[in-house]
Amino acid sequence: MNLQDRLSMVEHRIREACGRCGRSEEEIQIIAVTKYTTMKTVEQVLLSGIGHVGESRTKEAQSKYETFHPLGTWHFIGHLQTNKVKDIVGKFEYIHSLDRLSLMKEIEKKAADLNAVVNCFIQVNVSGEKSKQGLSPEALFSFAQEVSRMKQIRVVGLMTMAPYELDAEATRPVFRELRRLRDELNAKDIFSYPVQHLSMGMSNDFEVAIEEGATWLRLGSVLVGEEPIQARDA
């Protein structure tokens, strides 16, 4: 199955999921997760009309961005080390992994130097898995208060990763809780604007995520396929 066939299949599944929960397809944005893929695949993705690509390793992200950045919108979706912020801010339009004060301060500092505003998702570890990054749900609101004081950071949404489940239905409570946290965050009026988006749903569970309110899907293998890449430690 080629990229266009996979995209058509994904779009069909999105339509079906939206139909089940009474949502419009226009509410859903696809991010093609291109980590571990070749330069050729990244180019094919961007030329296919998808438009949004997600990378999670700074070295790979930089080389792909330098080559293809005029063609799309770039999302950094992985854990971001503070010493790598300088390589991402000013290039990637979205950061999906804001999860600690030190990172917040570094993004603010670098963005101020560039006179830029960075769109960020606050990452919440809803499932509580030790292997996953992100704030605990209990820490979200105090952290959001700190972020609200930043001038160069705009919080556009919340992000989470659900546990990998053979039965996607088992991920539903995680996605439902992130939506509840987003709604509570807005009810508290911590920010002077509504926090609209939910970055949640991956290849194995995106339909459930849509049914629970996802607006940004991060899709890797189901969309771009799987490629054997030698240099996976970049």
- With H, G, I as helix, E, B as strand and everything else as coil, classify residue 32: strand
Specify the pLDDT at position 226.
78
- What is the tens place of the pLDDT at every residue in 31-57? 999 988 999 999 999 999 999 999 999
Angle between helices 140-147 and 172-187 (to 10 degrees): 50
List the beta bridge partners of residue 76: 55, 95
List the beta bridge partners of residue 119: 94, 154
In Å, what is the CA distance from 14 to each residue of 155, 163, 219, 223?
A: 26, 21, 12, 12
Q: Pull the structure tokens for residue 1.
A: 């199955």
- What is the tens place of the pLDDT at every residue in 184-205? 999 999 999 999 999 999 999 9
**pTM across the whole model:** 0.94
- What is the tens place of the pLDDT at every residue in 59-83? 889 999 999 999 999 999 999 999 9
Q: Name the percent of the chain lying above pLDDT 90.
A: 91
Rounded CA-CA distance 54/71 in Å is: 13
Residue 228 pLDDT exceeds 60: no
Specify the pLDDT at position 66.
94
Confidence of residue 227 (pLDDT cuts 50, 70, 90): low
For residues 5-16, give the mean pLDDT: 97
Specify the pLDDT at position 82.
97
- What is the tens place of the pLDDT at every residue in 152-184? 999 999 999 999 999 999 999 999 999 999 999
**Count of all residues that appear for the chain in the document:** 234
